[in-house]
A and B are shown apart, each in its own frame.
Chain A
Amino acid sequence: SQKIEQNSEALNIQEGKTATLTCNYTNYSPAYLQWYRQDPGRGPVFLLLIRENEKEKRKERLKVTFDTTLKQSLFHITASQPADSATYLCALAPGSGYSTLTFGKGTMLLVSP
């Protein structure tokens, strides 16, 4: 069955450092992968989308890589700030024409001042 794995343990880093979050998947061939931010008691907020034929995508301090051979995506936040503290979810979609997403459980990021 399809499985998406994100680190269940919280990632603690110091302000200014680069945070790297991992998303691994099995039994899946996604057409694209998305990363979302979720704050406690709130709905997810879309951050980045990367397609299967793209290796890397950037947006301001965010960078996402997508390795379909390793079945892995890495999500980087450079120059992290305490305001970046949240849970980050990866989500996979099976095809380009339909938007059904399968979410991982998310990894909590805590950035200390």
Chain B
Amino acid sequence: GAVVSQHPSRVICKSGTSVKIECRSLDFQATTMFWYRQFPKQSLMLMATSNEGSKATYEQGVEKDKFLINHASLTLSTLTVTSAHPEDSSFYICSAVQGGNEQFFGPGTRLTVL
């Protein structure tokens, strides 16, 4: 149980385009999902907390107009990187909370912006 999937696993796009990443909890309902970004050899940095049916809460320094988060259902949250630039290239990881304190992470999405 407690499986989280992400799609796509890898994406390459041109600078200026938008990219959507999906995060799904496959066998449980998640009222809260988290979006992280991880640069090589760095720690996971929390970008935003996504709550079903309400606006996401963004961490300091994360542009909410650039990283659009939609948590439309209890099993799906999406992150859209708008007008992506090479500096947005990173490993994006989502996680979901089932009910306790542990977070279950997706496999991650590698974004490369050319």
Residue of B nearest to A90 (CB): B43
Complex-state Cα separation, A89 to B95, whole angstroms: 15
Q: Are B101 and A99 in contact (CB under 8 A)?
A: yes
Q: Are A49 and B107 in contact (CB under 8 A)?
A: no
Q: Are B102 and A44 in contact (CB under 8 A)?
A: no
Residues of A within 8 A of B105 (CB): 36, 43-46
Q: Count the B residues whose beta carbon is within 8 Å of the partner chain — how many?
A: 24
Residues of B within 8 A of A43 (CB): 4, 6, 93, 95, 105-108
Q: Are A32 and B108 in contact (CB under 8 A)?
A: no
Residues of A within 8 A of B93 (CB): 43-44
Q: Count the A residues whose beta carbon is within 8 Å of the partner chain — how many?
A: 22
Residues of B within 8 A of A101 (CB): 34, 46, 103
Residues of A within 8 A of B108 (CB): 41-43
Residues of A within 8 A of B7 (CB): none
Partner of A100, one of B42, B49, B106, B110: B49
Partner of B104, one of A42, A46, A93, A102: A46
Known: A41-B91, A43-B6, A93-B101. 16 other contacts (CB 8 A): A32-B101, A36-B105, A41-B110, A43-B95, A43-B107, A43-B108, A44-B93, A45-B105, A46-B105, A49-B101, A89-B44, A99-B97, A101-B34, A101-B46, A104-B43, A105-B41
Counting from the closest, the 6 A-B pairs by CB-CB distance are: A43-B105, A103-B43, A103-B44, A105-B43, A43-B108, A46-B102
